[in-house]
Structure 1
């Protein structure tokens, strides 16, 4: 095994999650400052999404070391990754078509569904995992992570909504609920992984 492969093996999910967050922040900053256009921003964002692959691999390896990896978790992870890539692709296509074409009626409705279908895939994936997972502890971990994600959506969405009502902040589209939920889900999973690692080191 080469030194590079050894280094990759040592890197945990936190490294890739941080790298992904830094990439998204840099791209968002470039886009907000208008240093790049929308198409370039989407292409860079789609490229940054590829960091999900090493992130998921590192996460699965860590779960295996901690003894919390099951066949249901592996299937859930694969399905969720496919849905996530579908969401980003659908969102990019829908936004581009909306900005560059005059969409009306049924066509506009169909284009708006492009990112929604993968979201339904995510919901189905979560429900299917809870049915397939036989380990009660792992099922509980999944439910806690989802509650953290849901809590993030409800609290941040409500707070921002009140700020909008008082005309203190600009309007943000409702589709931001999914990224906020995904970040909350990731935070919940990372928190439990760190807790498990601390328990193992005791």
Structure 2
């Protein structure tokens, strides 16, 4: 009887995609904060890095299945949900920009179009919540919750500090949707802390 060694994970690391995404997002935020680009331009430039979520999760799934066969269904469902809501976000954002730029829609239509991208981001938050609920590995669930808590603390702290600096006329005004961006950035912070304390990154 022969023992079969586990198949090593193939393809690029998920952290390569995540690193590129955060670097791109950070660059856009820095450009917006220094008035090098305006808010609408920054929002449009944020579209491209968000697509990197999909290959990052795919790469993470390949590694999870290679190291622990049969336990990737939860991550596959998570990937499908994130891909669906990300695609919906990109499509509705593009539609809103196109209609508002080339037409003069009524307030009701503008309100409806403005709600759609925000609801798509809310869908991504829901997807992460479902990942926590459906995760059967208690250790991975704990890591995911830790990531979410770090992200929440990071985003709310950044919003509080920035808000007081803005009130003192020290920094520019940032639209509220930027704090969701900082929350996703905080997931990366939580992953790094998980890696330092527990030797593994987590599921998100």
Q: So what's the TM-score if we normalise by structure 1?
A: 0.73
Tell me what 2:189 maps to.
Answer: 187
Moved more, 132-141 or 85-94: 85-94
- How far residue 30 of structure 1 moved from its aligned partner, in angstroms, is 7.9
- How far residue 57 of structure 1 moved from its aligned partner, in angstroms, is 2.1
- How far residue 62 of structure 1 moved from its aligned partner, in angstroms, is 3.4
Q: When the two structures are aligned, how many residues end up with a matched partner?
A: 188
Task: Measure the CA separation in 2 of the matches of 1:26 and 1:176.
Answer: 13
Unpaired runs of at least 5, structure 1: 1-7
Which of 110, 113, 124 in structure 2 is aligned with 1:111? Answer: 113
Task: Measure the CA separation in 1 of the matches of 2:157 and 2:140.
Answer: 26
Tell me what 1:55 maps to.
Answer: 56
- How far residue 38 of structure 1 moved from its aligned partner, in angstroms, is 4.1
Moved more, 136-145 or 64-73: 64-73
- How far residue 94 of structure 1 moved from its aligned partner, in angstroms, is 2.5
1:113-128 to 2 correspondence within 5 Å? 113-128=115-130
Q: Does the C-alpha gap of structure 1 residues 110 and 83 become closer, same or farther in structure 2, counting only changes over 3 Å?
A: same
Tell me what 2:17 maps to.
Answer: 16
Q: So what's the TM-score if we normalise by structure 2?
A: 0.73
SS in 2 for 1:114: helix
- How far residue 63 of structure 1 moved from its aligned partner, in angstroms, is 3.5
**1:167 aligned to 2:169?**
yes
Unpaired runs of at least 5, structure 2: 1-8
